[in-house]
Structure 1
Amino acid sequence: MTVREHNSQHEHAQSLPLLSESATVTAVNAMDRDRRSEIRRKLLAVGARHGFEDAIPDAGPIDWTAVFEAATSANRRLAPQIGAFRDRYERAHPALVSVTLDVDSPVDFAAGQYISLRYDGRTRPYSVASSPNRDELELCIRRVPDGRLSPKLCDDLSVGDKVTVRGPNGHLLLENQSKRDLAFLATGTGVAPMKSMLDYLFEDGRDTHRGEPRDVWLFLGAAWEDDLPYHGAFQDRAATHDNFHYVPCLSRESWLADWTGETEYIQDALLKYVEERALDDAVFGQHIAELLRTRPDVDIEARIDPHELEVYACGINAMVYSLETAVTRLGVPTNHVHCEGYG
């Protein structure tokens, strides 16, 4: 299996075929929330419980250096939580937006491909999040601090603006329809090509084979719940399709809210839903035993047979390479593993 690295697409983006020099922005929607008030309330509660509430003002600026010193003096184990609160409190908002474009003429692209977007003299590639069956293109954009284009898109892009669109390109594509079940794994905006594939799958009936349903899994990882792109849409699909199993994995949300779902990395969460006989054959040792003990109480009875699985993954390189190792140990054939990494 070859992991295609998304970073290599930046230089190539400006040379893609021109689709439109005047595509119209029809929607720009923030997908995350400003959670500073939530964080302050939770911080005050943690401070009261551990005796450092005097370092936290009820209003106005927060001296995070003073809070961190007071918190870690009270309990060193609070360092990761306070650091996470600081990072989230100080990050610009919005940090995650969906952008919808009306291109001059229909765009012929395959689910999973990307286009390049040029705005304010700057060009970057973005995976298409919408189905090829839709008339408009939808993009999912994460703010990259000090990035060339994403801060401009998050802060300045407005309905009615004109942008240049080139493409499409990319080789993270759905395989021919078969009886194999499907597992999509993504972190953050890596879910954009996955959403395009999933929408297309269910619209065109590719979630079945010869009348039999295929189990379709989505493991989506992020730090915070509102960092999960299309979270509500995936929950709705899981509620209306018995063969769609959505497993969101959040590493930090439980520090701030009552999150009772998965907190593992998605490649570890995947292992919790694999048939036990396949785990017996794989080499995971004590690690898998500990993971199975922390399986949350979720209403998913289906289990994954890795020998009958097609895997698609997109996200940060560390996750993608770790996933490759995990699914290889499970016995998924390498020609049925399709990955794209970035960062």
Structure 2
Amino acid sequence: MVSTMGAPFARPVMAFGAVPGRAAESARKHGGSMKEHARYFWAYIPALGALGHGAAAALADRPVPGFVLALWGVCFLFVAFVIVRSILQERSKDEFTTRQLLQAQKMATIGEMASGIAHEVNNPLAVIGRETEWIQEILKEHPPPDVQARREVRESLEVIAAQVGRCAEITHRLLDFARKSEPVLQWVDINALIEEMVRLVERVTRGKNLTIERRYQENLAPVWTDPPLLRQVVLNLLNNAVQAIEKEGSITVMTRDDAMGWVDIAIADTGCGIAPHHLPHLFDPFFSTKGPERGTGLGLAVCQKIVTALGGLILVDSKEGCGSQFTVRLPRRPIASRKTFE
């Protein structure tokens, strides 16, 4: 046996091992009486506490029942288990705290960088957008005589305007990610808020082979939350579900509450699902599985910040090739501490 607690700790163990014959003889003598075993065990407790030469001598001079040896071994293993578990829990707690601190520092740095980039890019984007509109107005008043050239110039300007709009959307997301504000909380009808976002998505996806099923819990109690921020989260998750369905499929939107005071908003799709190795990075800023032409990698990061600021959390359940479900869990009533959306 190897012990990290010093050599004296091993001596009583050696003493127990040195008297197996006496233990067996004592056990036979007393006929395995539980009362007698208990009397012997309690008599040895002071000796066990010594854990030194004195303990070894005391144990060597007394007959030791086998029951006592077994019970002492169980106690020793239990104490060792408790000590090791305590050490591992403390280490795990320290590692978790360190990871949280590093993540907070990383998010703060990324937020500052994102804010700076967004402000720097917004100004030239605004100039490009205005100049594009001005050229389009000129072409309307003085169109080129060549019909082919006129069509090509118009199409090129439309492409420029579309890309300017996309860049502007990216900068707005960067600002959303970097901004610091306190949620404005009020009692909200969650079913009505979600239905508003679902109808908006249905209008956009009209004509596609896509259905949205509602499963709202009836008589759902109001939730103490920030309506604009929650709308942003729900709309982002709905858009992600639409994009995950390539040809045809369905989206299911559910609401429910529980006895613990939480309300769940679940959005499930029958799309492509998420690869297992991507799941740990879903909420990392700038991480996207959609490709650079379809996603900025900020949508879920912003959603997580909002939901955390509202006192909730986001749960993900996904299987590659079968679809995904994102669940937003919010407290129904006010809680003592609210985090700033930062």
- Is the TM value for this pair above 0.5? no
Please classify the TM superposition score into its range, dividing by the shorter chain length: under 0.3
Question: TM-score scaled by structure 1?
Answer: 0.22
Q: Report the structure number with the largest CA radius of gyration.
A: 2
Higher relative contact order (CA 8 A, sep 6+): 1
Q: Which has the larger strand fraction?
A: 1
Question: TM-score scaled by structure 2?
Answer: 0.23
